[in-house]
Amino acid sequence: MYSRKTELGVGIFVLAGFVALIFLALQVSGLSLTATKPTYTIYARFDDLGGLSLRGRVAMAGVTIGRITGISLDQKTYSALVELSIDQDVNTLSTDSIASINTAGLLGEKYISISVGADEEFLEDGDTIYDTQSALNIEKLIGTFASSKR
């Protein structure tokens, strides 16, 4: 009887551990078990992505409003073209909005932050944000600082 209770307790503990691992894996990967919301697509051009990755979040005022669904190189301008999937209920992004690449947390997760402008026209499906701020390249900054000290 005693060993049966012990085995049951160990089994529940191991099962809870697996559930916690799956939950953490979903949180870290950016995937979700919830149903997807209707979205629309906009684009942004950057000179340097600095480690930005697919499925990264798009935020406005700290609130997640979408995901990064595509990253490609524009062969004409040699800049990075980022495809953003924005939630349909966030349909008031003005055409002069600013997209910047920021870093969150200790692990350095890169995400895109959108600051809304003052224009009265709004971005629609397929539009492009031209006013962007690329990622801060720490290695380049340290190299410039070190070479200026010589």
> Considering only CA atoms, which of 79, 91, 86 is closest in space to residue 47?
79
Identify whether the C-beta of residue 94 lies closer than 8 Å to the C-beta of residue 117. yes
pLDDT tens across 28-55, in order? 766 666 667 789 999 999 988 888 889 8
φ/ψ of 125, rounded to 5, equals: -55, 125
Q: How far apart are CA 58 and CA 76, in angstroms?
A: 26
Confidence band of 143 (pLDDT split at 50, 70, 90)? confident
pLDDT tens across 86-139, in order? 999 988 899 999 999 988 877 778 899 999 988 889 999 999 998 898 877 777
Please state, in angstroms and as integers, the Cα–Cα distance from residue 142 to each residue in 46, 136, 138, following that order: 21, 11, 6
Show the tokens assigned to 118: 């003052």
Question: What per-residue confidence (pLDDT) applies to 28?
Answer: 73
pLDDT greater than 90 at residue 21: yes
Give residue limits of the domains in the chain: 1-34, 39-135
DSSP 10-58: HHHHHHHHHHHHHHHHHHHHT--SSPPPPEEEEEEEES--TT--TT-EE
Question: What per-residue confidence (pLDDT) applies to 107?
Answer: 73
pLDDT tens across 65-86, in order? 999 999 999 889 899 999 999 9
pLDDT tens across 105-116, in order? 777 788 999 999
